[in-house]
Amino acid sequence: MHRFVAALLAAASCAGIAQAQTSPPPAGAQDALTLDEALAEAGLSSPSNEAAAAGVRASESARTVAGLRPNPSVSAQSENVVGTGPYRGFGQAETTVTFSMPVELGGKRGARVGVADARIGRAQLDAAITLADVRLKVARAYIEAVAAERRLGIARDQLKIADEALRVAKDRVMVGESSPIDEQRTSVNRINAQTDLERAERAYQVARSNLALLTGRAVNTPLDQAWFERTGGYGPASEPRAEGTLAFAAARADLRIADANVRLARSQRVPDLTVSAGARRLSATGDTAAVLGVSVPLPFFNNGRALISQARAERDQADARQWAAKLDAEQDIANARRDRDNAEASVRASGPALAAATEAARIARLGYGRGKFDQLVLLEAERTLAETRNAAVNALAQYHDAEARLARLIAPAPAVSGDNR
């Protein structure tokens, strides 16, 4: 009779737990924090985005600086003063005041502006890359928080199962249906379940805290569990191309900067002129005369060829890195799509596997309660059920993580300064 009562209690406990295993946690209806909301809030509060925006402003200011012309200069000098004889004082002084104006030749100013424009485009791409990285980081934190919430629910259910198994084992030992070692096994299993629950609670709290740090707000509301359950239909409609990715655009921007630096190096080979005009006053006679001058550097030691050679080598390096970025982007996209498809297959397989593991655990509980199965069979079935449930959560997390990585990789590059050059 006692065996029959224990079997009924085990069956009732199994029914409630099975329902919890097959049904996702409540989504929290309209109060749930969605991924899109988390991304929007993180975009407003991220210091990385602020730093990238400051970089764009700095490059725009640098463009203004590059367009400025050289400053003129004024010089004054006195000759034939504080000497000997008639030059003892300032009576024979010749004072000259000169106004000098550098004249840039060879298109240096335009070349500098070209480099600055290319750097503005690179800074704008850096801002877009930073935003995409922030979105990926937030998406991963959100995925981890949702998965941690699921794992916490599993750990709580497993603790309930372990409590019930320990109660049944004690009852069976009490009536002499089982060996005391069965009670010890279930006691150890219950301790392990309690430890797993504590770990899951810590992981849950840390995941929530990390998400709160990224979004700039406390995450006290439920997360979108319905979104976590969905798979398929999120990838690009067409085959993604590496040429449109941010990584390739950044490498292309670096190549534009290198091209502009080559033009700037070529312009440096043309010497600049300095035109000067002034007036000289002769103290001895009180007369004043004009002073005109032109100066030009002689490129004896530095004729600019080494600078051009350096710029060309850096341009070749940037060109090679551009195509390396294309290959890397293609490989990364292919790997992300593979991971997503594999995870999606695991998610599809987890449904039947979870149903089978749930049914096996139910049968094992009933059989053990009635004395039909050994306790090791029950513990193995419970272990398999817990692993299957966690594997289902892991598969969903891996799927969404691969989707987030793929979205980051194929994020379209915006139109930036210098694209039409």
Mean pLDDT by 10 residues, the chain (421 residues): 34 35 42 87 83 93 93 90 76 87 92 94 94 93 94 91 80 72 80 92 94 88 90 62 89 95 93 91 83 90 91 95 94 93 92 90 81 77 88 94 93 77 49
- Per-residue pLDDT tens digits for 108-127: 999 999 999 999 999 999 99
pLDDT confidence of residue 18: 37
By the 8 A CB rule, do 347 and 231 touch? yes
By the 8 A CB rule, do 115 and 293 touch? no
What CATH number has the domain spanning 2-69+104-269+304-409?
A: 1.20.1600.10
pLDDT confidence of residue 259: 95
d(CA 256, CA 420): 11
By the 8 A CB rule, do 147 and 397 touch? yes
- Per-residue pLDDT tens digits for 51-62: 999 999 999 999
By the 8 A CB rule, do 405 and 120 touch? no
pLDDT confidence of residue 82: 77
pLDDT confidence of residue 399: 95
* DSSP codes joined into one string, 167-190: HHHHHHHHTTSS-HHHHHHHHHHH
Please report, for the chain, the start and end positions of each structural domain, with discontinuous segments joined by +.
Answer: 2-69+104-269+304-409, 71-103+271-303
d(CA 52, CA 50): 5
In 3D space, the residue among 306, 277, 303 whose CA is nearest the CA of residue 290 turns out to be: 277
Q: Which residues are registered as beta bridge partners of 96?
A: 77, 280
Side-chain half-sphere exposure of 339, counting CA atoms within 13 A? 18
In 3D space, the residue among 219, 193, 184 whose CA is nearest the CA of residue 204 turns out to be: 219
Q: One-letter amino acid identity for 141?
A: A
d(CA 121, CA 56): 9
Quote the crossing angle between the two packed helices 305-369 and 2-22, to the nearest 10°: 150
